[in-house]
Amino acid sequence: MSADSIRVMVVDDDRDILDLVQISLSSQYEVLALTDPAQALEIFEVFDPDLAILDIMMPKITGYQILETIRKNPKYSHLPIVFLSAKESTLDIKYGYKLGANLYVPKPFQPDRLLKNVSSLLVNVHPRHREYSMRDVQLRMQLKASGVATGPAEPPSDVEGAPPKPSSSARLRRPLAQEKAENEKKKWVG
């Protein structure tokens, strides 16, 4: 799939659930499956999803907290959010909707039904161009996991006569290499 696909971010600390959701949705959507909710918040704007599927009970950060963080960003305040959770009491479901979830799916779930629900939430969403391709998103995640800090990418150059802008992965590597060099200098200085 290309950077012009409809994207779905799935966050769940259960790898089996992530795999099932990814298999169910990947035929129609570009899916990023994450087990670490903190990583999801770090990579959210880079991945730029059209819909997010969140577990509620996760270590460190809950799905409720992720939803609240997403809703605070004006760009994503209307992003469709699906809670996929083992918390299935009426109070839990009402609370999820009160926080702004568009759909609450209790576990265990039927993969084909999840696909239909996601498709209905995305019926008016059209593929759009994104700044980062899926490969760039994955590269950024790998660099972050390896301990290399990821700085902001350079803004695109729309000035006529300006040199062509480098590929997005080159834009990622340059600030990262500069930041890594600065960190190395700090180690020697003391």
Mean pLDDT of 182-189: 53
> For the chain, what is the domain count?
2
In which order are the strands placed within the sheet that holds 7-11?
A: 30-34, 7-11, 51-54, 81-85, 103-106
- 137 lies in a domain? no
- The residue type of 72 is K
Q: What is the pTM of this model?
A: 0.75
* 113, 161: one domain: no
User: CB of 84 within 8 A of CB of 58?
Assistant: no
Whether 154 and 104 map to the same domain: the answer is no
Q: Which of 18, 3, 42, 43 is nearest to 134 (CA)?
A: 3
Asked if pLDDT for residue 63 goes beyond 70, the answer is yes
pLDDT value, residue 184? 58
> Between 14 and 3, where is the model more confident?
14
Is residue 40 assigned to a domain?
A: yes
- Same domain? For 105 and 174 the reply is no
What pLDDT sits at residue 181? 59
Task: Select the more confidently predicted residue: 42 or 173.
Answer: 42
Torsion sign over Cα 128, 134, 136, 138: positive
Query: Do residue 71 and residue 16 come from a single domain?
Result: yes
Q: Is residue 99 part of a domain?
A: yes
Instruction: Examine the domain organization and report whether 117 and 152 are in the same domain.
Output: no
How confident is the model at residue 128, as a pLDDT?
A: 87
Query: Pick the residue with more confidence: 140 or 170?
Result: 140
* Shared domain check, 92 and 18: yes
pLDDT at 147 over 90: no
The answer on pLDDT for 57 being more than 60 is: yes
